[in-house]
Chains A and B, each alone.
Chain A
Amino acid sequence: MRIYRAKRDASHVYVKSKYNILGFISSGTYGRVYKAEDASGNLHAIKKFKPDKEGDVVTYTGISQSAIREIALNREISHENIVSLKEVILEDKSIYMVFDYAEHDFLQLIHHHSQTLRCTISTAVLKSLTYQLLNGLVYLHSAHILHRDLKPANILITSNGQVKIGDLGLARLSAQPLQPLFAGDKVVVTIWYRAPELLLGAKHYNNSIDCWAVACVLAELASLRPIFKGEEAKLDSKKNVPFQRDQLLKIFEVLGSPTEKDWPSVTHLPEYPSLKRLDPYPNRLYDWCQSRLRSQAGYDLLRMLFIYDPDRRLSAREALVHPWFLEDPLPKANAFASVASNQIPPHRRITQDDAPSMSMTIPLQPGQSGNAANAPGPPFPQSQQVLSGSSQQAQAQAKSGHSHHTGTSGSLGDAGGPTVYGPQGHGQVHGTTKLRKKPRLG
Chain B
Amino acid sequence: MATDFWASSHYKRWIVDRATLKQARADDLVYVSEPECLEFLAIYFANIISKLGKKLGFRQRVIATATVFFRRFYLKNSYCETDPYLVLSACCYVAAKAEESPVHIKNVVAESRALFSQEQYNVKHFPSDNSKLAEMEFYLVDDLECDLIVFHPYRTLLALCNKDFGNSNSSSDSPAEEAEAGELGTGIGADDGPRYWGTGQGQLELSEGGLQTAWFIINDTYRSELCLIYPPHLIAVTAIYLTLVLHTPTQNSIAHLLPYSPAFNSDSSNSGEPSQTTPHPRRSSRTSDSSSKHANQQDPIDFLANLNVSLSAIATIAQEIISMYSLWNRYREDVTAEEMRNMNANANMEPEKSSPERFCIRRHYL
Which positions in A face B, CB cutoff 8 Å? 1-5, 7-8, 59-63, 65, 68, 71-73, 75-78, 88, 90, 93, 139, 142-145, 172-173, 175-179, 184
Contact = CB atoms under 8 A, between A and B. Distances in A.
Contact of A63 (B7, B131, B141, B355): B141
Contact of B100 (A2, A93, A139, A177): A177
Given A72-B146, A143-B4, A178 B135 contact: no
Given A4-B139, A68-B98, A144-B189, A76 B155 contact: no
Contacts of B147: 72, 75
Contacts of B357: 1
A2 B99 CA distance: 30
Contact of B97 (A7, A65, A76): A65
A90 B9 contact: no
B190 to A, nearest CB: 7
Contact of A90 (B3, B105, B142, B355): B142
A71 B145 CA distance: 10
Contacts of A90: 138-139, 141-142
B130 A144 contact: no
A59 B98 CA distance: 22
Contacts of A172: 100
B62 A178 contact: yes
A176 B155 contact: yes
Given A75-B147, A88-B146, A1 B83 contact: yes
Given A5-B139, A65-B102, A88-B146, A143 B1 contact: yes
Contacts of B102: 65, 184
A8 B62 CA distance: 27
A3 B4 contact: no
A176 B180 contact: yes
Contact of B138 (A1, A63, A143, A175): A63
Contacts of A173: 2-3, 100, 149
Interface of B: 1-4, 7-9, 59, 61-62, 77, 81-83, 86, 93-94, 97-102, 105, 130-135, 137-139, 141-143, 145-149, 155, 175, 177-178, 180, 182, 187, 189-190, 355, 357
B177 A176 contact: yes
A178 B138 CA distance: 25
A231 B182 CA distance: 41
Contacts of A71: 141, 146, 148
A77 B135 CA distance: 27
Best-surrounded residue of A3, A62, A172, A179 (most CB of chain B within 10 A): A62
Contacts of B3: 143-144, 173, 175
B131 to A, nearest CB: 4
A76 B149 contact: yes
A72 B180 contact: no
Contact of A60 (B97, B98, B137): B137
24 contacts: A4-B77, A59-B134, A62-B105, A62-B130, A62-B133, A68-B148, A71-B148, A72-B147, A75-B9, A75-B148, A76-B2, A77-B1, A88-B146, A90-B139, A143-B2, A143-B3, A145-B2, A173-B2, A173-B149, A175-B178, A176-B175, A178-B99, A178-B175, A179-B101
Contact of B146 (A59, A75, A177, A179): A75
Contacts of B355: 2-3
Nearest to B105: A62
Nearest to A174: B178
A1 B90 CA distance: 14
A148 B189 CA distance: 20
Contacts of B4: 143
